[in-house]
Chain A
């Protein structure tokens, strides 16, 4: 495979920061102890490194270190949070409230619980920007509601939910609040106390850390949240997640959190500037371009745009040996369905097929943004010249009135 020279798919994953790699290296070699070995220096060295990582992660989100439970990634964290709560609190209730735009790690976990008759789930709709209305959450609460699970920021469109309002509501009603904050932590200020979050999923590789390492924040006081473990074994992580700890991964995760915390506002401002530059450049070169998601309530590094009359996969094919982006087109998804997130926003399927996600990150520069604007404009213009839909639209034909022979 030829190497893409510009990486702008930072909501899929991020490059590992060289400072993170540097911090991890000793733990891939010379420091090889098991953090659970309590009786010798090898174990102590590993434990010390894990403790430091745990503190760095806790610090970024305003948690106490012992509330951080290490997992293999956010998918496992979502599974543990939702299944763990449903199983532990079964005598209290069985109803979950979530939303249709959640990540599959949440949606498919909920569906699995429905299939096994372990839970009843309400999937709330979202508005045209992808936001859940706190009043809808309130109205969906039943006597048997035990958990609300809503993501901090959406992975496709970057939309931020009104997390604090929902956290406050959950607290008032004595319902646990889980948030998949994979796309939020390290990008926008997250504080589990101020936000009223009881359980929170995180992933190292979305914030310039290594893959294969994630965490679940589990509130220890006010209220103390209990979970039924999903992985049984040696009782690691306060019995919530057995398995020898990934010491190097945790060291990297911790370092990644420290770095994100240090420059959170500055980096957020820089990404907002780059995103504006990207959007302004594209809109000045191209017509019929539509923003997907909220204009302001979104993570700074996300821009999602539909380029009418240009199918997403062909768009990426026109670029992908140079620029790495992502599309909501059916042809680029494993399911062969266009983005369910865009569909939930009311974006028509014809526009969902033309959607492109630009994921800006720490290592993107102004020069890269300018180059992307130039290349994307070229590709869109070339493909529009090849598009029968563009030709018809320019002739004044209303595409919605056409009888298509599919």
Chain B
């Protein structure tokens, strides 16, 4: 399969690979996919509890080149956005940016799911830690 230049760039020099420390606060973690399906994405968002702006993001992905590229791109995309803005990101934006072929659209769907899962996890935690963030929509 021929990959687009952007996929290759993200695959070879992925942005924001890694994990936040276990005890770091204000981090939402989303893990989506399954090993039997050949792709698992872990996306972590570090969110300012006051402004609800995503200040940092990290990922680890088991999957094909397009899945790795989609996760890498998403970490760049969400940084600086508010949680509400990030929640609105559609997979089609990832498809367009990386020029993913039809067989790789599921990689972009997974990346969108990872954002939503990470946000949901952060909100879940927020209910316990900082009730104030409950109003986040």
Cβ-defined contact, A314 with B31, below 8 A: no
The reply to whether the CB of B65 lies closer than 8 angstroms to some CB of chain A is yes
The reply to whether the CB of A336 lies closer than 8 angstroms to some CB of chain B is yes
CB within 8 Å of B: which of A324-376? 329-332, 336, 338, 348-350, 353
Assign chain B's interface to a size class: 20 to 34
Number of residues in A with C-beta < 8 Å to the partner? 29
The reply to whether the CB of B41 lies closer than 8 angstroms to some CB of chain A is yes
Given the known interface contacts A1-B2, A338-B38, A353-B38, the answer about A386 and B65 at a Cβ–Cβ threshold of 8 Å is no
The reply to whether the CB of A136 lies closer than 8 angstroms to some CB of chain B is no
In the complex, A275→B80 CA distance in Å?
A: 51
The reply to whether the CB of B103 lies closer than 8 angstroms to some CB of chain A is yes
Given the known interface contacts A385-B17, A386-B60, the answer about A406 and B38 at a Cβ–Cβ threshold of 8 Å is no
Interface residue from B33, B67, B103 paired with A406 (Cβ < 8 Å)? B33
Given the known interface contacts A314-B11, A336-B103, the answer about A349 and B64 at a Cβ–Cβ threshold of 8 Å is no
Measuring CB to CB, which residues of chain A are less than 8 angstroms from any residue of chain B? 1, 309-311, 313-314, 317-318, 329-332, 336, 338, 348-350, 353, 385-391, 399, 404-406
Measuring CB to CB, which residues of chain B are less than 8 angstroms from any residue of chain A? 1-3, 11, 14, 17, 19, 31-42, 60-65, 67-68, 103, 113, 117
The 8 A-B pairs with the shortest beta carbon distances in the complex, nearest first, are A404-B34, A350-B35, A388-B42, A313-B64, A388-B60, A406-B34, A349-B36, A353-B38
Cβ-defined contact, B38 with A330, below 8 A: yes
| Complex interface: chain B residues within 8 A of A350 (CB) | 35-36
Cβ-defined contact, A331 with B64, below 8 A: yes
Interface residue from A331, A386, A399 paired with B35 (Cβ < 8 Å)? A399
Cβ-defined contact, A387 with B60, below 8 A: yes
* Given A318-B11, A386-B61, 20 additional A-B pairs, CB 8 A: A311-B39, A311-B62, A311-B63, A313-B64, A314-B11, A317-B11, A330-B38, A349-B38, A350-B36, A386-B17, A386-B60, A388-B42, A388-B62, A389-B35, A391-B60, A399-B35, A404-B36, A405-B34, A406-B33, A406-B36
